[in-house]
C-alpha cells in the first residue's frame, strides 16, 4: 500500500459520508462519529442527498450501475474538505475503486481529487487530528475486555485494523484480546451472504465461537455490515457477545466525567 501523506495542520471543516448501512441500521454510529469530530473542534458537514458508495453493485459485477450510483454523489462534496467515512470498506471503495470506475470518463480528474480526500474515521482521528485517548480522564465506565473485528476489504485497502488496534489500545480501562480467527472474514461480504447463505453462516459461526472463546462480552468493529452479521448470529445463538461500532465505543469510553456543581 502506497504511503499516504497527511495534512500538516488539522482542517476546520470536513464532510461526513455516513454510508447507507449507518443511515438505515446504525444511525447512532454516525452521530457518535460527528460527536468525536466536533469535540476536536472540527465542523462537520453532512450533505443530505448522499446515499451509497456503489460497493454492492461493484462487488456484484455491475460496474456501470456502481458508476451511476457514485456519479450521483460527486456534486455533494464540492469544497476541498476531507471526506470522513465511518466504514473502512466504504472508504476503500471511494478511495481506490472510484478512480478506476471513472478512468475513461470526463469526470476522471475530479474523481481522483475527491478520492484523495477520503479517510476512514479511525485513520482521520489518529493521523490527521492526532487524538490521544491515553490522556483521557477515566470516566464512569467499568473496565472492559473486548475483541476487535476488521472487515477484509478494510484491512487490505485502508489499513483499518492498524487504526482500530491503536485507538482501542490507547483507551484507559480497556483491554483488547486477540482471538484465533480475527483475520478471517465474518461471512458477510455484501451480497455474498445472500448468494451463499450456508457458507456465510458457517463462517460467521466460526468467527463468533472464536470471539466468545476469549471470554470477552463485546466485539468492536468499524464496519456496520460485519457488525450486523456477527450481532445477528450472536442473537440467534443466544451468545453472550454484544457488538458495537468503533465510533460509539470510542465516544462512550472517552466522555468526560461530569463534575459536581
Mean pLDDT of 117-142: 86
Q: 259 pLDDT exceeds 50?
A: no
User: Is the pLDDT at 17 greater than 80, yes or no?
Assistant: yes
Average pLDDT, the chain: 90
Per-residue pLDDT for 150 more than 90? no
For position 188, what pLDDT does the model report?
82
pLDDT greater at residue 181 or residue 121: 121
Share above pLDDT 70 across residues of the chain, in percent, rounded to a whole number? 95
**pLDDT band at residue 28 under the 50/70/90 scheme:** very high
What value does the mean pLDDT take over residues 139-149? 86
Whether the per-residue pLDDT at 135 is higher than 90: the answer is no
pLDDT of residue 30: 96
Between 3-12, 117-126, 154-163, the lowest mean confidence (pLDDT) is in 154-163
Choice between 189 and 65, residue whose per-residue pLDDT is larger? 65
CATH 3.40.50.11810 fits 134-254, yes or no: yes
The three state secondary structure string of the chain is CCCCCCCCCCCCEEEECCCHHHHHCCHHHHHHHHHHHHHCCCEEECCCCCCCCCHHHHHCCCHHHHHHHHHCCHHHHCCCCCEEECCHHHHHHHHHHHHHHCCCCCCHHHHHHHHHCEEEHHHHHHHHCCCCHHHCCCCCCCCEEEEEECCHHHHHHHCHHHHHHHHHHCCCCEEECCCCCCCCCCCCCCCHHHHCHHHHHHHHHHHHHHHHCCCCCEEEECCHHHHHHHHHHHHHCCCCCEEEEHHHHHHHHHCCCCCCC
Using the predicted structure, report yes or no on whether residue 257 has a pLDDT greater than 60.
Answer: no
Q: Which residue has the higher pLDDT, 258 or 140?
A: 140
Predicted confidence (pLDDT) at residue 23 exceeds the cutoff of 70: yes
- The answer, yes or no, to whether residue 260 has pLDDT greater than 50, is no
Examine the pLDDT at 261 and tell me if it is beyond 60: no
pLDDT of residue 148: 92
Does the pLDDT at position 255 exceed 80?
yes
39 has pLDDT over 60:
yes
pTM of the model: 0.91
106 has pLDDT over 90: yes
**Mean pLDDT, residues 74-86 taken together:** 96
Per-residue pLDDT, 152? 79
- Please compute the mean of the pLDDT values over residues 61-70 and round it to a whole number: 96
Q: So where are the chain's domains?
A: 13-128, 134-254
Amino acid at each position: 500500500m502506497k504511503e499516504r501523506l497527511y495534512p500538516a495542520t488539522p482542517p476546520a471543516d470536513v464532510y461526513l459520508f455516513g454510508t447507507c448501512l449507518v443511515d438505515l441500521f446504525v444511525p447512532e454510529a454516525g452521530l457518535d462519529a460527528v460527536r468525536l469530530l466536533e469535540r476536536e473542534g472540527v465542523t462537520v458537514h453532512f450533505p443530505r442527498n448522499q446515499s451509497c458508495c456503489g460497493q454492492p453493485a461493484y462487488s456484484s459485477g455491475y460496474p456501470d450501475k456502481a458508476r451511476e450510483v457514485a456519479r450521483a454523489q460527486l456534486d455533494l462534496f464540492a469544497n476541498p474538505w476531507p471526506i470522513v467515512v465511518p466504514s473502512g470498506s466504504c472508504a476503500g471503495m471511494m478511495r481506490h475503486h472510484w478512480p478506476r470506475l471513472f478512468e475513461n470518463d470526463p469526470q476522471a480528474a475530479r474523481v481522483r481529487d475527491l478520492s484523495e480526500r477520503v479517510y476512514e474515521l479511525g485513520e482521520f482521528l489518529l493521523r490527521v487530528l492526532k487524538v490521544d485517548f491515553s490522556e483521557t480522564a477515566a470516566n464512569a465506565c467499568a473496565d472492559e475486555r473486548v475483541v476487535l473485528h476488521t472487515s477484509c476489504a478494510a484491512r487490505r485497502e485502508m489499513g483499518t485494523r492498524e487504526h482500530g488496534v491503536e485507538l482501542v489500545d490507547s483507551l484507559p480501562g480497556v483491554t483488547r484480546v486477540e482471538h484465533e480467527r480475527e483475520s478471517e472474514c465474518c461471512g458477510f461480504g455484501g451480497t455474498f451472504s445472500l448468494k451463499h447463505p450456508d457458507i456465510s453462516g458457517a463462517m460467521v459461526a466460526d468467527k463468533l465461537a472464536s470471539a466468545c472463546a476469549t471470554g470477552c462480552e463485546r466485539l468492536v468493529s468499524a464496519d456496520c455490515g460485519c457488525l450486523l452479521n456477527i450481532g445477528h448470529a450472536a442473537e440467534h445463538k443466544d451468545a453472550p457477545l454484544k457488538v458495537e461500532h468503533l465510533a460509539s465505543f470510542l465516544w462512550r469510553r472517552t466522555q468526560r466525567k461530569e463534575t459536581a456543581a
